[in-house]
């Protein structure tokens, strides 16, 4: 009997790869329901699928791959208890997010002599090199890695952490009112990490300027935050053709190893890169500001850079 695999239909390069080895269903994110996953052996998802007790109880799922860096949409403690293997794709789209930050810097003409980078993993390390190339003074802050630079005096502060609520260094509302009160009044805040790392109400109450890609409450975003943002986008900072290729292959490698399958190479699906000309982020921002209710549809239809 073939195993059954459910795949988010918006993950590219997977069509046909597993069809001769398993019963594969390519579905909308909202179609991942308890009924749908009950007889599934594996799920391949994105951030829109909440993988928790509510979804997984009573199912035979033993493997979840998320074609994303973060895992805050997955209840890791529950999965460990159920012996469900969880795989993510750290670093897969790091260059794309770095390019997003640089495009934001290109669009914002104000002073950019220094940059504070909070979270110096795959993305933050690339952002640091990019900023050094631009001649900026770089301050690094990542306490788990022993980096404790004070970023509050910087002209630009950009966040590249996971979203965590517990542990020694929780990141939920890391950028809150207290943090912003210590920053330069006209500093530029960039959040291309996770919604919730930045307290959006605190942003509204502050004097700082900001660029925002990831939001609290997605896809139901705050119209007030959208109006105040210098630039805003629909959670697509990491959306590049190469990043998606990397993530899809990582998912296939992990699934192959877990189920002892032959090497699975992603499809040769041809995807034409989208708009990466000068000013692309401003055009994306104008789209969202003109139609904020279309956040999710814009995200689904976004042509990978």
Known catalytic residues are 194, 218, 235
Question: Is residue 163 within 8 Å of 196, Cβ to Cβ?
Answer: yes
Where would I find the beta strands (DSSP E) of 32-132? 42-45, 63-66, 85-87, 114-118
DSSP 286: H
User: What is the rounded CA–CA span in Å between residue 16 and residue 298?
Assistant: 26
Taking CA atoms, 211 is separated from 70, 83, 197, 247, 285, in Å, by 20, 39, 14, 25, 10
Q: Which two tokens stand for residue 294?
A: 């279309």
Which residue, among 56, 106, 105, has the nearest Cα to 77 in the 3D structure?
Answer: 56
User: What is the rounded CA–CA span in Å between residue 212 and residue 231?
Assistant: 7
The residue with tokens 């794309």 is 96
User: What is the rounded CA–CA span in Å between residue 171 and residue 189?
Assistant: 16
């Amino acid at each position: 009997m073939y195993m059954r695999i459910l795949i988010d239909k918006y993950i590219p390069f997977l069509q046909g790869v597993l069809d001769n080895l398993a019963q594969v269903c390519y579905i909308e994110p909202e179609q991942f329901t308890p009924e749908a996953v009950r007889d599934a052996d594996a799920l391949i998802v994105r951030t829109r699928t909440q993988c928790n007790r509510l979804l997984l109880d009573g199912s035979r799922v033993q493997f979840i791959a998320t074609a994303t860096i973060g895992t805050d949409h997955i209840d890791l403690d529950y999965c460990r208890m159920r012996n469900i293997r969880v795989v993510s794709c750290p670093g897969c789209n790091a260059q794309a997010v770095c390019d997003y930050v640089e495009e934001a810097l290109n669009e914002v003409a104000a002073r950019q002599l220094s940059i504070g980078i909070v979270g110096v993993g795959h993305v933050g390390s690339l952002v640091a090199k990019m900023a050094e190339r631009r001649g900026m003074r770089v301050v690094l802050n990542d306490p788990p890695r022993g980096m404790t630079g004070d970023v509050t005096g910087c002209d630009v502060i950009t966040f590249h952490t996971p979203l965590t609520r517990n542990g020694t260094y929780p990141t939920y509302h890391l950028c809150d009112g207290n943090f912003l009160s210590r920053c330069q009044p006209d500093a530029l805040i960039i959040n291309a990490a996770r919604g919730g790392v930045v307290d959006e109400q605190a942003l509204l109450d502050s004097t700082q300027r900001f660029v925002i890609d990831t939001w609290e409450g997605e896809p139901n975003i705050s119209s007030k935050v959208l109006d105040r943002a210098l630039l805003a986008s629909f959670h697509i900072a990491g959306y590049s053709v190469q990043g998606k290729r990397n993530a899809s292959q990582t998912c296939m490698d992990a699934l192959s190893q877990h189920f002892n399958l032959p090497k699975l190479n992603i499809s040769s699906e041809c995807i034409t890169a989208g708009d990466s000309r000068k000013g692309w982020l401003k055009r994306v921002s104008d789209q969202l500001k003109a139609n904020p209710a279309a956040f999710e549809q814009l995200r689904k239809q976004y042509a990978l850079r």
